[in-house]
Amino acid sequence: MSSDRAWFFKNLDGYTRTQFQCFVAEMTLSDDECEYVFCFRPTDAVRGSPDQYACRYLEIEVEEVKAARREKRLTDSIAEKSERELKFLGRVAGP
């Protein structure tokens, strides 16, 4: 894994764990290599519950990942995408 990818994975995972009670379960590069596709799952999913396999996907352009690495922070655009896609996922599996 390149240093940009590793840095981004670690930072996005930490951010989404804190903000949305979700974790990055998968990070794949699209076939055309223009964007990364992230799969998120709730951190507190109860084994055996219907929500055990709940997930949401988020697509982030490769250039945006590189920009975040250069700026040493997740961009506002990434925060907005995360909020839109993940705000309910962590709560789905919660108590």
Q: Could you give phi then psi for residue 17, rounded to 5 degrees? A: -65, -45
pLDDT at 52: 80
**Contact indicator for 92, 49 with CB cutoff of 8 Å:** no
Residue 84 structure tokens: 């839109």
- Residue 85 pLDDT > 80, yes or no? yes
Helices (H), strands (E): how many in the chain? 4, 3
What global pTM score does this model have? 0.87
* Tens of pLDDT, residues 10-28: 999 999 999 999 999 999 9
Band the pLDDT of 92: cuts 50, 70, 90: low
* Domain range list for the chain: 3-92
The reported pLDDT for the residue numbered 95 is: 46
